[in-house]
Amino acid sequence: MNRREVRGLALAAAALAVALVLPGALNTYYVRIITGTFLFGILASAWNLIGGYTGYPDFGGAAFIGVGAYTTGILMVRAHLPFPAALPAGCVLAAASAVAMGALLLRLRGHYFAIATLGFMLVLRQLTANLEITGGGSGMNLPAAGDFKEFYYWMLAGLVLAVLAGFALPRTRAGYALAAIRENQDAAQVLGIEPLPFKILAYAANAFLFAAAGGIYAYWLTFIDPPTVFNIDFTVQAVVMALFGGQGTVLGPVAGAVILKSLDVTLTNVSLFLHNVFFGALVCALVVFAPRGLAELFQARPGRGRAAALGASIREALQENRV
Amino acid sequence: MPLLAATGVSKFFGRLAAVNQVDVAIEPGEVVGLIGPNGAGKSTLVNVITGVEAPTAGRVEFAGADITGRRPAAIARLGIARTFQIAQPFRNMSVRQNVAVPVLFRAAPAAGVADALHRADEVLDVVGLGPKRDLPARALTTPDLRRLELAKAVALRPRLMLLDEVMAGLTPAETEADMALLRRINEQGITLLVIEHVLRVVMGLCRRVVVLHHGSKIAEGSPQQVTADPAVIAAYLGPRYAAHGGTGPR
Amino acid sequence: MTPSAQIALQNAVNGLLIGGTYATVGLGMSLVWGVLNVINIAHGAFVMLGAYTTYWLFTLYGIDPFATLPIAGAALFVLGYGLQRVVVNQVIRASFLITFLLTFGFDLLITNGALAVWTADVRAVTTAYSGRAIHLGPVIVPAVRLMTLGAALLVALLLHLLMSRTRLGTAIRATASDQDAARLMGIPIGHVYAITFGIALATAGIAGGLAGMSFPIYPAMGANFTFIGFVVCVLGGLGSVAGALVGGLLFGLLTTYAAGWLGPNYDYIVAFSALILVLLVRPAGLFGRAARFRG
């Protein structure tokens, strides 16, 4: 490992140590916010596996959030399983469904893959609303848990898992296959890589993690219904966070989650009513001015301070791509 | 038994015959040239052989086994490597990582990523890209990108290499160096099919040459025979030159 | 005529009638996708704006809904032109993910803005002739839906004439075909793009007005129409008005029959299955060329 990696590892370890003791030190309001941030950290890191690293932008990830949420709920309520047993079951089911859907969808590229995955999520949402076992459109209740801290630690565990996956994958043989597929799928094929199985692997890993987040979220909310969990907002935010935190890095998506969640909370405090509107404007602004990630906005260039660099980035964005 | 036997291969795009009833046989250890004017169907033939395109008709056999229409990855693992006319590097991966990919996915793969990177280094040293191993592929010059293509093909440990215009746009010195490299590769036991426009390379490297024109094979033989063949001259330069025995109008 | 044949025929008529609206939704999306290579996720949100325009003009000023369509179209044309020139143009050469996200941002803005301003209350456009129907033999044809189909066909015809008979249309088609060559020919690309986007949003607005006469109006209605637009584009193929028309009518038939057999709560499932089938079997759609793949 090189020095940058060692620094990153040290930073992550320190952050983890802090995270472990935070609930004792902060009041519940902040613990909740941080738990929500962990949720999106999981989603952003997981999306990065299939969307950033493999280059297949999945816009239907919320499908797996729903699978995780409802499987956890159904197993807890109807099969009386404890949460630690129900949650992994949801993850496995989501991964299995990803394998099945992926075998079809991962043959598509670009736009088509994105919309097809979105369609998949809409289908699952409608299916869930039509079934009895899920409580249909009225939703279902989950058993209440004890202390809120439980959710914090579960989410943290999920986040650690997601970050580890993001760290490990590029260093494995499968990771090399995925990078090659992302860079040039045709060239990858003539070098011995059969693309579909590897793409399915990334997609399933993404699904597993999304389902974990979903299951924990369901237990936290204690009430879920189709529009709540099969909600495209989860995916859009995850994508934005991954993109602007820096797709090429392990902790980038997490950083994106932290920054955007903080902005979101601030906006909510400004106006609960309008915070979604502001968020939409924020997404537009970010896309136009910082398409390569927030880090780029602030990267100092030779002979310029960071503030000047920010101004230059904005000016550049305005001049670039003038048709 | 020929290492590669393409029999009656045709590839139609709509009504256009890109390749029309072509027979090519390559013996183990040979260096065969494949020439013809632009649009003759050379790259398409290579695409059919490597499984990138399925032929409309015909059969391709490799070491006795039928590989017609099989998937490119499978054919690559059977031992056929190819380079692309326009280099296709993995732009955002390092040179080393680029070469590590085929090392990891060939029929006899390396034991792990670390091992693969070591073996990639060995191949890079052979083609002369050693010093640039940690550069991202997008930072390479065109000749180096060609060499990278070559390195990746070699790293696949193929029995047959299909080289698509690897010498285009090189200086005479670079051409000599690459020809020597290809000779070394051939001496290691790898059979070569070389698509080339640079006549010097064809004459110097290939013991046998196949000529395509408008998708059909119009000549086959030694480089000397083929370059004196009126049909070949007509294909490249037009009928007037062929009529004068290849030495130009008087 | 047997009862089941009668039902089948009625379904066919219903499907075609609603298909007209679907086709109009798809037209705009196909235009933007085919010419600018941008998939406008917010397309449905603009449809929603058109619906509300019709609603407010009708409710506040008593203007007949069909008469509001040109107004909705004009207003959304202006909005579209401005949006493209000022915002979309910044990212038009960027990766597909970026343009996707930008239009997502638009959708968030517009949908939540509408929610804030107009509340989530469901509205409807009910005119004096809303309940009237024509009886063609055993089949009932609601007057509003028939006029909606007529309007949709008219819009399609106008757009076709624009694209094939005018200089502007030629410029648009040239730009779609080869942007750099078009520029070299002296075509002002920025202007062409903006006009195209404006036209697309105008058709979205008109589609919204049409939809508003048959469907409930509420801020979140857009998402449905975006998906419908996309399916229509895929079914009919990009780059042709005929494609969007056929795609829309086909999709109308498909969803109506599916609702008949399976009940109204399975329309996404049917739509999605159709979508996947077409994508895997004939990605170019029925009429058009497949969108250029970027990935």
Chain segment A218-274, per-residue pLDDT in tens: 999 999 999 899 988 899 889 988 988 877 778 889 988 998 888 888 888 877 777
The pLDDT-based confidence of A1 (bands split at 50, 70, 90) is low
Cα nearest neighbour of A172 on chain B: B113
Q: What is the pLDDT of residue C286?
A: 62
Judged by a CB distance cut-off of 8 A, whether residue A30 touches chain C is no
The pLDDT-based confidence of A184 (bands split at 50, 70, 90) is very high
- Has residue C290 got a pLDDT over 70? no
Instruction: Tell me the one-letter amino acid at B193.
Output: L
As a whole number, the mean pLDDT across chain A is 86
Question: What integer is the mean pLDDT of C180-204?
Answer: 88
Which member of A105, A126, A287 has the closest CB to residue C101?
Answer: A287
The count of CB pairs under 8 A between chains A and C is 141
Which member of C104, C107, C279 has the closest CB to residue A112?
Answer: C279
Question: What six digits make up the tokens of A269?
Answer: 């405090």
- Testing the interface with C: which of A288, A289, A294, A296 to mutate, by most C Cβ within 10 A? A288
B179 closest CA partner among B206, B157, B197:
B206
Question: What integer is the mean pLDDT of A125-129?
Answer: 90
Quote the CA–CA distance of B19 and B163 in Å, as a whole number: 18
Judged by a CB distance cut-off of 8 A, whether residue C104 touches chain A is yes
Upper half-sphere CA count for residue B91 (Cβ side, 13 Å): 8
Contact at CB, B93 and A183, closer than 8 angstroms: yes
Q: Is A141 helix (H, G, I), strand (E, B) or coil?
A: strand
Q: Which residues contact C74 (CB under 8 A, 6 or more apart)?
A: C202
Percent of chain B with pLDDT over 70: 96
In the stretch 239-278 of chain C, residues with CB closer than 8 A to chain A read: 265-269, 271-272, 275-276
Q: What is the pLDDT of residue B202?
A: 86
Question: What integer is the mean pLDDT of C218-231?
Answer: 88
The pLDDT-based confidence of C76 (bands split at 50, 70, 90) is very high
Quote the CA–CA distance of A159 and A85 in Å, as a whole number: 19
Q: What is the pLDDT of residue A323?
A: 33
Question: What integer is the mean pLDDT of A133-153?
Answer: 86
B208-213 and B216-221 as β-strands: parallel, antiparallel, unpaired? antiparallel
Q: Which residues contact B130 (CB under 8 A, 6 or more apart)?
A: B121, B124
- Has residue C90 got a pLDDT over 70? yes
Q: What is the pLDDT of residue C287?
A: 60
- Phi then psi dihedrals of residue C131, to 5 deg: -90, -10
- Phi then psi dihedrals of residue B97, to 5 deg: -65, -35
Percent of chain A with pLDDT over 70: 89
Which member of C109, C280, C291 has the closest CB to residue A284?
Answer: C109
The pLDDT-based confidence of B242 (bands split at 50, 70, 90) is low
Question: What six digits make up the tokens of A320?
Answer: 């670039």
- Has residue A317 got a pLDDT over 70? no
Q: What is the pLDDT of residue A73?
A: 94
- Has residue A291 got a pLDDT over 70? no
Map chain C to HEC letters. Answer: CCHHHHHHHHHHHHHHHHHHHHHHHHHHHHHHHHHHCCCCCCHHHHHHHHHHHHHHHHHHHCCCHHHHHHHHHHHHHHHHHHHHHHCHHHHCCCCHHHHHHHHHHHHHHHHHHHHHHHCCCCECCCCCCCCCEEEECCEEEEHHHHHHHHHHHHHHHHHHHHHHHCHHHHHHHHHHHCHHHHHHCCCCHHHHHHHHHHHHHHHHHHHHHHHHHHCCECHHHHHHHHHHHHHHHHHHCECCHHHHHHHHHHHHHHHHHHHHHHCHHHHHHHHHHHHHHHHHHCCCCCCCECCCCCC
Contact at CB, C116 and A284, closer than 8 angstroms: no
Q: What is the pLDDT of residue C293?
A: 28
Which member of A176, A179, A191 has the closest CB to residue B156?
Answer: A191
Question: What integer is the mean pLDDT of A147-162?
Answer: 92
Quote the CA–CA distance of A123 and A254 in Å, as a whole number: 29
Residues of A with CB under 8 A from a CB of B: 171-173, 176-177, 179-180, 183-184, 186-195
Burial category of C281 from C-beta neighbours within 10 Å (exposed 0-12, middle 13-18, buried 19 and up) = exposed
Strand order in the sheet with B208-213: B80-82, B160-164, B191-195, B31-35, B208-213, B216-221
Q: What is the pLDDT of residue A301?
A: 45
Q: Which is higher by pLDDT, C131 or C193?
A: C193
Q: What is the pLDDT of residue A290?
A: 73
As a whole number, the mean pLDDT across chain C is 86
Please report residues of B whose CB lies closer than 8 A to that of A177: 101, 104-105
Q: What is the pLDDT of residue B244?
A: 58
Q: Which is higher by pLDDT, B247 or C248?
A: C248
A102-111 core/surface letters (b: 16 or more CB in 10 A; e: else): beebbebbbb
Q: What is the pLDDT of residue B136?
A: 93
Contact at CB, B71 and A189, closer than 8 angstroms: yes
Question: What six digits make up the tokens of B65?
Answer: 């086994």
- Phi then psi dihedrals of residue B163, to 5 deg: -105, 120
- Has residue B245 got a pLDDT over 80? no
Instruction: Give residue-wise pLDDT tens across range A64-97.
Output: 999 999 999 999 999 999 999 999 999 999 999 9
Instruction: Give residue-wise pLDDT tens across range B121-132.
Output: 999 998 889 999
Q: What is the pLDDT of residue C283?
A: 65
Alpha helices in A106-194 (DSSP H): 110-130, 149-168, 173-189
The pLDDT-based confidence of A208 (bands split at 50, 70, 90) is very high
Query: A305-319, B138-152, C203-217: lowest mean pLDDT where?
Result: A305-319
Q: How many CB atoms lie within 10 A of CB A242?
A: 29
Instruction: Give residue-wise pLDDT tens across range B129-174.
Output: 999 999 999 999 988 998 899 999 999 999 999 998 888 778 888 8
Is residue B33 within 8 A of residue B164, CB to CB? The reply is no
Contact at CB, A192 and B106, closer than 8 angstroms: yes
- Has residue C8 got a pLDDT over 70? yes
Quote the CA–CA distance of B123 and B117 in Å, as a whole number: 10
Q: Which residues contact B171 (CB under 8 A, 6 or more apart)?
A: none
Paired with C238 in beta bridges are C289
C133-136 and C139-142 as β-strands: parallel, antiparallel, unpaired? antiparallel
Quote the CA–CA distance of B148 and A86 in Å, as a whole number: 50
Q: Which residues contact A197 (CB under 8 A, 6 or more apart)?
A: none
Q: Which is higher by pLDDT, A133 or B113?
A: B113
- Has residue A295 got a pLDDT over 70? no
Q: What is the pLDDT of residue C86?
A: 87
Q: What is the pLDDT of residue C47?
A: 96
Judged by a CB distance cut-off of 8 A, whether residue A274 touches chain C is yes
CA A198 to each of CA A189, A193, B203, C280: distance values in angstroms, whole numbers, following the listed order = 12, 9, 43, 20
Question: What integer is the mean pLDDT of C198-210?
Answer: 95
Contact at CB, B105 and A177, closer than 8 angstroms: yes
- Has residue A56 got a pLDDT over 80? yes
Is residue B21 within 8 A of residue B46, CB to CB? The reply is no
Question: What integer is the mean pLDDT of B49-64?
Answer: 92
